[in-house]
Amino acid sequence: MRTPVKFTRPLLWLIFLSLLVRGFVAATIEFNNDEVYYWTYALYPDWSHFDHPPMVGWFIQLFSLNLSFHSEFFIRLSSVVMGAVNTWLIFLIGKKIKNELTGWYAALLYNASVYCFVITGIFILPDTPQVFFWLLGLFCMAEIFTGNEVSSRKTKFFLLFGIVAGLAMISKYTSAFLWLAIWAMVIFDNRKWLKVPSFYLAHLLSLLIFSPVLLWNIGNNFISFTYQSERVGFFGKGLRLDYFFTELFGEILYNNPVNFILILLMLVALIRKKKFVQATYQKLLLFSSLPLIGTFLFLALFRSTLPHWTGPAYLSLMLLAAAFFAENSSKKQKSILFPKEIIISLLLLGTALTASWTEINYGWINLDTRHTGNPQKMGEDDLTLDMYGWKQLKEKVEPIINQDKLNGKMHKPVIISYRWFPAANLDYYVAQPLGIKLYAVGTLERIHKYYWINHLRGIPAAGTDAYFITLSHDFKDPLPLYGDCFDTILPPDTLTITRCGKSAMNAFVYRMKKLKSLPSAIE
């Protein structure tokens, strides 16, 4: 007889410890470029935005009480909380498709994934709400396709799915793949739903929820759809195996190499016709994973893609891998609470997270060996500097700006940046605390949402003076950019950003005097 294992207590401990670790990291590292940009979605909410639908901004507003609490911790709080909720959700789905042991293993694999634990569980990105609604969608689908009968309970879950899928799509456009999974299940598993009005009403609910995004795009020349379609277009680009392998290895790293191996073992077992989950659930989980993964691996043959775009698809594969290991465990006298493979996966994530946090905050490893003699390139090869030094920059820039005010050196100054990052970084860490308006001046492809923010803040008048602040790890000379826009661009003040007592990078503060006119892109 197999000895039963109760999972409530270990699951609650897993959720608590995960919450504690992710909350600590969220509170003790500065924003990366993407996160601080999405802060502007909450600062200037809209029905949609240049890059993505609006849900990530609404999550930030909700959990920060409309930015009443505006530290990194509170802006990331939705990710920290949703990471805990998602652990519980994936447990429930695993329990539904097989048993509690499957749910427990799925919860462990979820917390061993870099994508789930860090990217959506610490960082605040559109993937945070997407993964939550994606898991809710999977839960609804598991209820809908349990058995072949059509019942009133299942029709309610179908309507709920329509709502959830709509919310997922206003989190991130790739959530439309949830509907692809539904259609595949209906066609290949249960066509009775084609005769049920709730099936079509669920589509209308999704469309209704998504309609504000459509209307915003109609009013803005479909700019968001155009931008995203250009990112994933492939015709005329030529075959690029380097892009393909970058995408593939990125997916392996983002999902944890050990998790990826466990998923491969599960897929081999499926190919060999091993039976470890009901056929309906097997189809459901494959339909909700392989199309999304296959699409972006195919696109990666022609152009650069980002590995986290496929992240939600791996949730289904985690569930299948959990069911596979639960089946193997059930054949033993006692279920194994922590299989050694999953322990290794968790330890790998913990080691990588600890090393990354330490390097970001202390920089013990010299990652920039090429440019130590060039003050304008110091730190250029150190990616960890994207998330370090912004608070220190504010502390060192503030005396310069205050002294300029006392001396009357700058007339109604603003800060100007040339791209959405570092514009958002400077906006959050420097401009907002110092009460100065920031503008991003450049093409729409470079400044993104700042095109709209510029107009909301009011275009600077002729004669305005401006600061241009650039860092050596991402240096940009303002003279070629704005030399024709101002009467004079003065030589910069140079500030040193230190980390653990050592120089990490330089900051250059330029004064641009007497604005003549700005490029048409801002106007």
What residues does each domain of the chain span?
A: 8-357, 383-522
SS3 for 497? strand
Distances (CA, A) of 287 to 142, 164, 462: 12, 18, 58
Q: Does the pLDDT of residue 523 top 50, yes or no?
A: no
Q: Phi and psi dihedrals of 239, rounded to 5?
A: -70, 130
Q: How confident is the model at residue 227 (pLDDT cuts 50, 70, 90)?
A: confident
Residues shown for the chain: 523
pLDDT at 169: 98
Q: What is the arithmetic mean of pLDDT over 191-209? A: 96
Q: What is the mean pLDDT of the chain?
A: 93
Are 91 and 18 within 8 A, CB to CB? no
pLDDT at 283: 97
Q: Which two tokens stand for residue 26?
A: 């969220």
Q: Phi and psi dihedrals of 12, rounded to 5?
A: -65, -40
pLDDT at 237: 63
Tell me the pTM.
0.94
Q: What is the arithmetic mean of pLDDT over 493-521? A: 91
164-198 pLDDT, tens digit per residue, is 999 999 999 999 999 999 999 999 999 999 999 99
Q: Does the pLDDT of residue 231 top 80, yes or no?
A: no
Q: Does the pLDDT of residue 2 top 70, yes or no?
A: no
41-90 pLDDT, tens digit per residue, is 999 999 999 999 999 999 999 999 999 999 999 999 999 999 999 999 99
Sign of CA dihedral 10, 16, 19, 25: negative
Q: Does the pLDDT of residue 202 top 90, yes or no?
A: yes
258-287 pLDDT, tens digit per residue, is 999 999 999 999 999 999 999 999 999 999
Q: How confident is the model at residue 330 (pLDDT cuts 50, 70, 90)?
A: confident
416-434 pLDDT, tens digit per residue, is 999 999 999 999 999 999 9
285-317 in b/e form (b: 16+ CB < 10 A) is bbbbbbebbebbeebbbbbebebbbbbbbbbbb
pLDDT at 442: 92
Q: What is the arithmetic mean of pLDDT over 352-359? A: 96
As a whole-number percent, the residues of the chain with pLDDT over 70 amount to 96
pLDDT at 291: 97
86-107 in b/e form (b: 16+ CB < 10 A) is bbbbbbbbbbbbbbbbbbbbbb
Residue holding tokens 């459901």?
284
263: left (phi over 0), alpha (psi -120 to 50) or beta: alpha
Q: How confident is the model at residue 1 (pLDDT cuts 50, 70, 90)?
A: very low
Q: What is the arithmetic mean of pLDDT over 231-245? A: 76
pLDDT at 430: 98
Alpha-helix residue ranges (DSSP H) falling in 176-256: 177-188, 197-219, 223-232, 241-254
pLDDT at 521: 47
SS3 for 8? helix
Residue 245, exposed/middle/buried by CB under 10 A (0-12, 13-18, 19+)? exposed
